[in-house]
Structure 1
Amino acid sequence: MEPELLKHVTCSPSKAASESRKAIRHQIRSARRSLSEPEQAHFAEQASHAMLAEITKIKAKNVALYLTNDGELGTQRLIEMLWEQGINVYLPRLHPFSKGNLLFLAYTRSTSLQQNSLKIWEPKLDITQMIQPHQLDVVVTPLVAFDADGNRMGMGGGFYDRTLANWASRGKPYPIGFAHDCQQVSALPCEHWDVPLPMLITPSRVLNFEHCL
């Protein structure tokens, strides 16, 4: 069952805004974790087909994804679909020398993974498997919550906001959000560094926000 859409707290960047974001993260993470395994599998299948259609439409060859964690919409089915289509898949890993930034490494069936400091699985560091963010065609973007204008809220680390900060001026990598329907809220309290999404895919909808950018 989808949670009631949270209301936007109008305020300046302050303790009140921070508390609002914290409340949204808590409610939405709880909602997506409450989904059963059959529901998760069904929703992932639906959303993966929709995402593959969009990736194919723009003829993307290099696509970054993430490995599912904390009740997120599952990505493994989509990864397998991309492999079957001969599309290169990349995963993020925490940058070892530049705090708050990500590296992207090739991901295949033989890639060795390890858990990082956030308890998230990522490829072992191998510079021969690395790709620069501007060489990616699409970044399938994780998030905690989104609203009707394409605003995105992550976990608060800013990793994807830094990665995607200049995407609009370069035209790539094109970010597409990937989330459960229950992760939508009425409006998000945003900060100046938050990067809005041009598109987002849920199990039931393909949402285009380019008119909001």
Structure 2
Amino acid sequence: MNKDTLRQTMRAKRNALTPSQQAFASEQVATHLAQSSDYQQATHIAFYLACDGELDLTPALKQALADNKACYLPVIAPNRQLRFRRYNEGCSLVTNRYGIAEPSADNPEIQPNRLDLVLAPLVGFDSNFNRLGMGGGFYDSTFRRAPQPLGKRDRRAAVLFGVGHSVQKVAQLEREAWDVTLDGVLTETGLDLR
């Protein structure tokens, strides 16, 4: 199955979940996230605002704000890159070209490599921590590992967790050279770490 067909299949699966299943999954993910050491040690965390059946992170985002975490949301930038702007309840949001709300330009911005933890939406994922997104390559372009000098760790500054519903797991995803591997996958069933 090609990636476009797989995206359609996975989007249909997550959109078929009932509102009560979606709400339950959101609460479970918030609980699993709050229990993770990566979350507990993080100061700067990137979330996303759900659309098209994506797992809603609102409970997790509210918990992070209550825990005095600095929370950020992605903003579409040129060259298939993401920027991240600070989010607080009541901050001004604008709608981007994809119809997704993002913080307006008057909200402070952080460089992606300054984030401690990034929560990225999933269309699909596999047990090898490969991520299938919507196809724009924004997270891959933004968090691609730069070549490291010999002896340096090969990782980006931020820990990257994919977030989705367990029904979005597939046997195996075809990996492209530019695809970024996840550090963990967070679903209603728990957090799996690489």
Q: TM-score, normalised by structure 2?
A: 0.92
Please state how far the C-alpha of 1:53 moved relative to its aligned partner: 1.6
**1:140 aligns to what SS in structure 2?**
strand
Letter in 1 for 2:69: I
The aligned residue for residue 113 of structure 2 is 134
Question: Structure 1 residues 177 and 46, CA, compared in 2 at 3 Å: closer, same or farther?
Answer: same
Question: Residue by residue, what CA displacement relative to the aligned partner does 1:88-135 show, whole Å, maximum 9, x if unpaired?
Answer: 10001111xx23111100000121111110111111113x60001111
1:30 deviation in Å?
Answer: 0.3
What's the TM-score, normalizing by structure 1?
0.84
Q: Distance in 1 between matches of 2:25 and 2:119?
A: 16
Asked if structure 2 preserves the Cα contact closer than 8 Å seen for 1:150 and 1:198, the reply is: yes
Q: Which runs of 4+ in 1 moved over 4 A?
A: 55-58
In structure 1, give the amino acid aligned to 2:80: G
The alpha carbon displacement at 1:139 in A equals 0.4
Q: Distance in 2 between matches of 1:55 and 1:43?
A: 20
Mapping 1:11-50, distance limit 5 Å = 20-50=2-32
Per-residue deviation at 1:48? 1.0
- Where do residues 32-181 of structure 1 align in structure 2 (5 Å cutoff)? 32-54=14-36, 58-95=40-77, 98-126=78-106, 129-166=108-145, 169-181=154-166
Cα distance in 2 for partners of 1:28, 1:74 equals: 16
Aligned to 1:188: 173
Q: Distance in 2 between matches of 1:171 and 1:137?
A: 10
**Counterpart of 2:95 in structure 1: which amino acid?**
Q
Q: Once the 2 structures are TM-superposed, how far is the Cα of residue 170 of structure 1 from its aligned partner? A: 4.8
Q: Residues 191, 56 of structure 1: CA spacing in aligned structure 2 closer, same or farther, 3 A cutoff? A: closer
Residue 161 of structure 1 aligns to which amino acid in structure 2?
Answer: D
Determine which of 168, 183, 191 is the counterpart of 1:206.
191
Partner Cα distance (1:123, 1:180) in 2: 25
Further displaced range: 171-180 or 69-78: 171-180
Q: Partners of 1:57 and 1:88 in 2: how far apart?
A: 12
- Cα distance in 1 for partners of 2:58, 2:129 equals 24
Which one has a larger percent strand, Structure 1 or Structure 2? 2
Gaps of 5+ in 2: 147-152
Q: Is the 8 A contact 1:143 1:154 kept in 2?
A: yes
Compared CA separation, residues 21 and 56, structure 1 to 2 (3 A): closer
| Preserved contact between residue 91 and residue 105 of structure 1 (Cα < 8 Å) | yes
8 Å contact 1:55–1:138 — kept in the other structure?
no
What SS does the corresponding residue of 1:48 show, helix, strand or coil?
helix
Kept in 1: contact 2:39–2:117 (CA 8 A): no
SS where residue 114 of structure 1 aligns?
Answer: strand
Please report how far the alpha carbon of residue 205 of structure 1 lies from its aligned counterpart in structure 2 after TM superposition.
2.4
C-alpha RMSD over aligned residues? 1.6
- Between the two proteins, the alignment pairs up a number of residues equal to 188
